[in-house]
């Protein structure tokens, strides 16, 4: 389990990933790169590595709290290698029943030695053995905000914001939601296969498949190694897309022949879904800020094989006069704080703060204010974010409706995370006729 045949152990790879994340890299991207690079790892090792890297990241606040109860040197003063070796080991002790505590401690000590910290092996060993002996006796703070912050490893400012906006019970529900075990949601490309055929094909590959309880167009899959290894994925028969995100194009009232503009489209989930609904007719223009992002959309277009969609580089904050009143449906799935997708992007919560939250909400207003002019009279504007924040969601929608009385808010919905969906927000606006 711990050392593969090329000598790099899964715990050492997990350490590499954690150090990269601390240096500012995105957790889901580093993990994907490592899994791609170390393809020779067994399926079991890949699952262990994924769980260890993701779990240690998403439980970081709690793990540091535990370590700091037993170490005179606090985690923020430790060398990054040592603090991440300790975090990883404490995660195994607390959350991975299949790993004996002694193995977690021994492997941590060996890793510290291999990484050049032979002089600290006694420290690592002492702290970890002490934690292993007392793991069920650790006292947590009584203050609700601090308790929730540590128990769910969520920065306190986010807890404060959610308790203020949704109340304590809902906040606990949201926090629990991120830790629910979940399968991957896929949207079936009905132009390339049928639901029955796809279920048969995936099941034949040894993948577990379930119907999605909310959406007929989606399935839940689990037990696969990695996506690119699934022939049906390479052949564009499905797209990985969360249920809440699928609802954007599904609820937009797209009709065959429509012109759809997606102003923040990479990697293309909603734009491709719109193209699929158009069923070979109409056109989708999928835009994003940089050529690199636009290239991601192009890769997905080519995998899905659609011809009624093009990807274009365009900054959504710059007005494009040629697009004025052209769109039957405008999709504004805007950059956001991402607090609804913390189950997948486990490090995001540590990167945001109240200032970045205010900045992103202001950017959303600037984009909405610019792109709304592309919507035809009687056309639709779908505003969505993958976050749970009134400032970015309901307050921005309210601001927009007041500033642009030519639009009516038809409905809005905040979706909270669960085992079958991410946290997400959608507002549907209709532009009045002249």
Ligand X SMILES: C[S@@+](CC[C@H](N)C(=O)[O-])C[C@H]1O[C@@H](n2cnc3c(N)ncnc32)[C@H](O)[C@@H]1O
Residues that bind ligand X (CB under 6 A): 245, 264-270, 288-289, 293, 315-317, 333, 335, 386
**With respect to ligand X, which residue has the nearer C-beta, 28 or 94?**
28
* Cβ atoms of 427 and 189 closer than 8 Å: no
Give CA–CA dist 382/211, Å, rounded: 27
For the bound state, the minimum distance from the C-beta of residue 267 to ligand X, rounded and expressed in Å, comes to 5
For the bound state, the minimum distance from the C-beta of residue 290 to ligand X, rounded and expressed in Å, comes to 7
- Three-class SS of residue 99? coil
For the bound state, the minimum distance from the C-beta of residue 359 to ligand X, rounded and expressed in Å, comes to 12
Residue 94 backbone class (left: φ over 0; alpha: ψ -120 to 50; beta: rest): alpha
55 is known to lie in a ligand binding site:
no
**With respect to ligand X, which residue has the nearer C-beta, 93 or 309?**
309
231 is known to lie in a ligand binding site:
no
List 88, 336, 372, 386, catalytic entry: 386
For the bound state, the minimum distance from the C-beta of residue 58 to ligand X, rounded and expressed in Å, comes to 20
**With respect to ligand X, which residue has the nearer C-beta, 109 or 249?**
249
Three-state helix/strand/coil letters over 157-217? HHHHHHHHHHCHHHHHHHHHHHCCCCCEEEEECCCCCCHHHHHHHHHHCCCEEEECCCCCC
From the list 229, 232, 269, the residue with the least C-alpha distance to 35 is 229
320 is known to lie in a ligand binding site:
no
Give CA–CA dist 171/161, Å, rounded: 9
265 is known to lie in a ligand binding site:
yes
* Cβ atoms of 416 and 177 closer than 8 Å: yes
From the list 420, 378, 402, 395, the residue with the least C-alpha distance to 247 is 420
**With respect to ligand X, which residue has the nearer C-beta, 89 or 371?**
371
**With respect to ligand X, which residue has the nearer C-beta, 260 or 386?**
386
DSSP state of 264: S
For the bound state, the minimum distance from the C-beta of residue 87 to ligand X, rounded and expressed in Å, comes to 29
269 is known to lie in a ligand binding site:
yes
Element (H, E) at 105: helix 101-114
318 is known to lie in a ligand binding site:
no
Is 336 annotated in the active site?
A: no
Give CA–CA dist 346/59, Å, rounded: 9
Q: Just list the catalytic residues.
A: 386
Q: Would you list which residues are annotated within the binding site? A: 264-270, 288, 333
Q: Would you list which residues are annotated within the binding site for S-adenosyl-L-methionine? A: 264-270, 288, 333
């Amino acid at each position: 389990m711990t050392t593969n045949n090329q000598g790099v152990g899964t715990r050492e790879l997990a350490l590499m990933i954690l150090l990269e994340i601390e240096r500012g890299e995105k957790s889901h991207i580093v993990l994907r790169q490592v899994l791609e690079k170390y393809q020779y790892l067994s399926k079991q090792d890949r699952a262990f590595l994924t769980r260890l890297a993701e779990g240690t990241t998403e439980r970081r606040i709690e793990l540091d709290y535990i370590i700091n109860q037993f170490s005179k040197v606090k985690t923020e003063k430790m060398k990054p290698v040592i603090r991440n070796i300790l975090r990883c080991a404490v995660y195994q002790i607390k959350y991975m029943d299949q790993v004996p505590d002694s193995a977690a401690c021994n492997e941590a000590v060996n890793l510290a030695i291999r990484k050049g910290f032979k002089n600290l092996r006694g420290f690592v060993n002492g702290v970890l053995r002490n934690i292993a002996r007392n793991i069920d006796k650790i006292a947590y703070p009584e203050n609700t905000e601090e308790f929730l912050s540590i128990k769910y490893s969520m920065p306190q400012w986010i807890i404060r914001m959610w308790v203020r906006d949704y109340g304590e019970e809902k906040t606990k529900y949201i926090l629990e939601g991120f830790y629910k075990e979940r399968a991957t949601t896929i949207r079936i490309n009905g132009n390339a296969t049928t639901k029955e055929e796809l279920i048969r094909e995936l099941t034949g590959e040894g993948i577990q498949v379930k119907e999605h309880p909310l959406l007929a167009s989606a399935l839940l899959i689990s037990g696969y190694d990695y996506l690119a290894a699934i022939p049906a994925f390479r052949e564009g028969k499905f797209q990985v897309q969360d249920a809440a995100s699928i609802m954007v194009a599904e609820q937009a009232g797209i009709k065959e022949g429509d012109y759809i503009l997606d102003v923040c489209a990479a990697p293309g989930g909603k734009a491709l879904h719109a193209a699929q609904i158009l069923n070979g007719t109409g056109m989708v223009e999928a835009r994003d800020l940089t050529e690199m992002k636009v290239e991601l959309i192009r890769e997905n277009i080519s995998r899905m094989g659609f011809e009624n969609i093009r990807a274009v580089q365009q900054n959504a904050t710059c007005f494009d006069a040629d697009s004025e009143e052209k769109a039957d449906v405008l999709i504004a799935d805007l950059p956001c704080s991402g607090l609804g997708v913390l189950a997948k992007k486990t490090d995001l919560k540590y990167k945001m703060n109240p200032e970045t939250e205010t900045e992103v909400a202001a950017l959303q207003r600037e984009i909405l204010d610019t792109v709304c002019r592309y919507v035809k009279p009687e056309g639709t504007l779908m505003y969505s974010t993958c976050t749970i924040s009134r400032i970015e969601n309901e307050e921005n929608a309210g601001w927009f409706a007041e500033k642009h009385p030519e639009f009516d808010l038809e409905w809005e919905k905040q979706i909270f995370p669960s085992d079958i969906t991410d946290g997400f927000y959608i507002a549907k606006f209709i532009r009045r006729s002249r």
